Chain A
Amino acid sequence: MTRRALADLPLEWATTETITKLSAGGPGLSERAAALAAFHALPTESNLLFTGYVDLRAAEVERAAPAVLSQEIRTLSDAALPEGAAALIEISSAGVGAYIGAEASAAGLKIAPLNAATPMAGAAEDRTAALIAALWNTGVSISLGAGRLAAPIVIRILAPEVGTSLIARIAVALGDGAEASIVEEINGSAAAAGAATSLLATSSEITLGARASLALSSIQDLPEDRAYVTVRRHTFGEKAQLQLAVAQVGARLVRGRIDHLLAGDGSGVRQVEVVFGAGDQIHDLTTYSLHSGQKTVGDLLAKGVFAGNARGYIKGVTTIPRSGRGTNSYLGEFGMLLSKTARSVAIPSLWIDQPDCERAAHGSSVGPIDPAQIFYLRSRGLTDAEARRTIVMGFLEPVVAALPLNAEAERLREVLAAKLDAALVKQPAALAS
């Protein structure tokens, strides 16, 4: 067997034959073909700044071909609707199911199969985007023309079974002045430990009209035998606002890219990201912010905790072109290492052509658990493990608390606490009692 290079992702199913099957004689084949050509032509990492920080070897998905799924949307029973939710969408190897509650229905929320010929922006430049655009086997379009939807739309994404791939496109459009919130839950049933032999690939293609406002939180807690690649692309109308909270906890390998295209004057994004890696996990996450509109705001904060042999590559590029007068942008990347074999890489980059900006800054730090803090907490009666847990949770809390929905924040705290306990058990205490 030949050794795989770090950036290789062999897929024997990335072929014309597969895309022909997936488009089933319907429209969209030419779009898929163009994306497939881009997939084969592009390097895994097209940004030269980051080529040294890619490692896809943990994904062994060469034969995990995506199945041909029905594009019809099944109607789920009302009993499935989580309490307090406006609508539920389930995406799995069974395709898409949905249930729209009465309030959402009245507000004009529409959930429909994604038009097969919908082009995917970014697929010509980014290899992950090209993969999804060429080989997606399920897709959903969510739209709200106007008005306000107070309760969240819940999207549950269930990882595919071992040895298969699920490649899903999710398109969201909010019309002028519309307001909504989305909660993404990305889970899957646990299977055998080891290499990631199944692939979950998702896109989140969000278009916000003028003054539209969206709060989106995503908690990814996949079993650690899955590979997860994702692209999010957000296009902002004038004064549009996005609050994005992303927690990356599970999966053996995560490679994610977020693009904020702040073209609308006065538009803004507030993004918080929590990354918790343990075992042999790799989190490879990049955020691009393009402040092309005037007086746009980008406030991005990422916090990562890495235990075991985990690696975190947290990268960012903030671009302020000449059109971006009055930009206010901040990018913060902070890490905490819980073991001697963990590794944290931060690359917060700036590319600035417009001097007239309100703020263009980034900050980052990496530090251990402060022994003085442990000492203090132990003097208050906590055990060493409790003290560590309190300090790590405290480090992540500002990001967790920023989740737009309380229930989601609470759920994330539980997920993080469980993972932290597991990590601390494997970790010998530095200060023995």
Chain B
Amino acid sequence: MTVAKETVRDEREQYAFHDDIAYLRETKAGLTEATVREISETKEEPAWMLEYRLRAYKHFEARAMPMWGGDLTKLDFSKIVYYRKPSEREEKSWDDVPDQIKKTFERLGIPEAERKFLSGVGAQYDSEVVYHSVREDLEKLGVVFMGTDQGMKEYPEIFKKYFGTVVPAEDNKFAALNSAVWSGGSFVYVPKGVDVPLPLQAYFRINGQNTGQFERTLIVVDEGASLHYIEGCTAPNWATDSLHVAVVEVIALPGAKVRYTTIQNWSNDVYNLVTKRAHAHAGATVEWIDANTGAQLTMKYPGIYLLGEKAHAEIVSVAVASKGQHQDTGAKAVHLAPNTTSRIVGKSVCKDGGVATYRGTVRVAPGATGVTTSVRCDALILDEGSRSETYPYIDIQEDDTSMSHEATVGRVSDDQIFYLMSRGMTENEATNLIVQGFLEVFTKELPMEYALEFNRLIRLEMEGALG
């Protein structure tokens, strides 16, 4: 008798293809000042941006590699291609996207998703955004959703006012790298009081071998407005290293509400080194909902600086580390104003020799009175040889702060497995279910279609987790 083993098929193959595309323009491998100038020139940028890039490049060169976090010793900056331009311009109509690229995204289900449940979609292929569209009614209300390069040209006042204010070029080595060679990403502006009812989604795809993708996203949500932004990432497996160094800046002006959801599923040869940070002004809420299942090394700690009274921060960070993977992820909440609140939930699963690290910071600065903050981070280790690390930093400098932190590390208990198996599940199915339950804190925050997709992804990761 043959019993179908769950209904999970390994569908990752469907993302693993790559296109043999003739790029319109690409820089030589390696990074010099000339590369930076070439990128800026190709993009016909204003002089101030070139200066900004060059300043960032100098800082990148001078700054030492971080000594903490994952193993970066094999990351060879000289082998990376820093800019690859796949198409002439950013299209607003799907039909105008070059055929080959269109096929790629169709295989990934993008236009279909747009029709069904999104307010707008953006797609980036290697270095450039190839497609952006936003629902007409929202466009009429003044909602802007376009590639960041285009945003810089079309909305220079908003762009210049906020670009680089949340993550300065000198913030860290990788923020400096991104600031020097950034290309693409999303530029979003939601005007005062506008509620964007359905998510905007951006889709990031690395296609070329040894490509570095350095998208730069800037999201400004004006007073009392609200937005849910979702991003997804895939790449073919080239078995040589690719580099994804993004910077995401979110500004939630007074009373705004922003949710930023990431499902990161890069192939296992990508270094994913991302700086994500938000400013939450008075009464604003910022939520990072962040899942990492792909990449060989992820170093990403979405942060929220609570700048205005009664701002609220919510960070849910989940990570699954399998064979050859190190997920060094976490969260950062910095309370700089009175009566601000934050909640951080970190969940990680490691298996097959994977390493999952939670690295988080909660800081309450002098003057930030009446702060309430809670941190919970839990880890599951599924087998010997995998490792879980937890490094929480709690730095409180106000006497009326209420802070609580809890963490546990454990395995899937035999009792739970036994119970589920007595109900007719295989051991693998039982483990799947328990891991899905463990990560539910994340999935329940997703729109339903994404939750299903994420659960499928987890089942895939868990496939064969137990003998």
* Residues of chain A having any CB pair with chain B under 8 Å: 48-49, 322, 335, 337-357, 359-368
Contacts and interface: CB of A to CB of B under 8 A. Distances in A.
Contact of B387 (A353, A362, A367, A368): A353
B97 to A, nearest CB: 46
12 contacts: A340-B366, A342-B399, A343-B397, A344-B395, A345-B395, A346-B392, A350-B390, A353-B384, A360-B408, A365-B403, A366-B394, A367-B401
Contact of B406 (A352, A359, A363): A363
Contacts of A338: 399
A48 B407 contact: no
A276 to B, nearest CB: 15
A349 B388 CA distance: 11
B386 interface: yes
B114 interface: no
B387 A352 contact: yes
Contacts of A360: 408-410
Counting from the closest, the 3 A-B pairs by CB-CB distance are A355-B381, A355-B411, A337-B399
B396 interface: yes
Contacts of A343: 395-397
Contacts of B398: 337, 340
Nearest to A349: B391
Given A350-B409, A363-B405, A366-B396, A48 B386 contact: no
B412 to A, nearest CB: 8
Contacts of B389: 349-352
A304 to B, nearest CB: 11
A49 B406 CA distance: 19
Contacts of A346: 392, 394, 405
Contact of A366 (B379, B383, B387, B403): B403
Given A337-B399, A347-B394, A365-B403, A49 B68 contact: yes
Contact of A355 (B383, B395, B399, B401): B383
Given A345-B396, A350-B409, A357-B409, A367 B403 contact: yes
B384 A355 contact: yes
A348 B409 contact: no
Nearest to B391: A349
A346 B362 CA distance: 10
B394 A345 contact: yes
A368 B402 contact: yes
Contacts of A335: 396
A364 B396 CA distance: 12
A345 B364 CA distance: 10
A277 B382 CA distance: 42
Contacts of B411: 355-357
Given A337-B396, A352-B388, A366-B396, 7 more contacts: A344-B395, A345-B395, A351-B388, A351-B390, A355-B410, A361-B408, A365-B405
B404 interface: yes
Contacts of B68: 48-49
Interface residues of B, number: 35
B139 interface: no
A361 B379 CA distance: 10
B400 interface: yes
A341 B406 CA distance: 26
A352 B398 CA distance: 32
A247 B358 CA distance: 31
Contacts of A339: 399
Contacts of B21: none
B431 to A, nearest CB: 12
Given A337-B399, A348-B392, A361 B406 contact: yes
B77 interface: no
Contacts of B401: 337, 366-368
A48 B396 CA distance: 21
Nearest to B409: A360
A368 B400 contact: yes
A340 B407 contact: no
A64 to B, nearest CB: 31
B399 A363 contact: no
B386 A355 contact: yes
A361 B409 contact: yes
B23 interface: no
Contacts of A347: 391-394
Nearest to A354: B384
B67 interface: yes
Interface in B64-87: 67-68
Contacts of A362: 390, 405-407
Given A341-B366, A345-B394, A364 B405 contact: yes
A366 to B, nearest CB: 4
Nearest to A315: B393
Contacts of A350: 388-390, 407, 409
A337 B392 CA distance: 19
Nearest to A346: B394
Contacts of B382: 355
Contacts of A353: 384-387
Contact of A352 (B366, B379, B383, B397): B379
Contacts of B386: 353, 355
A363 B390 CA distance: 12
Contacts of B407: 348, 350, 361-363
A354 B396 CA distance: 32
Contacts of A356: 384, 411
A320 B382 CA distance: 15
A361 B407 CA distance: 5
A357 B410 contact: yes
Contacts of A337: 396, 398-399, 401
Contacts of A365: 402-405
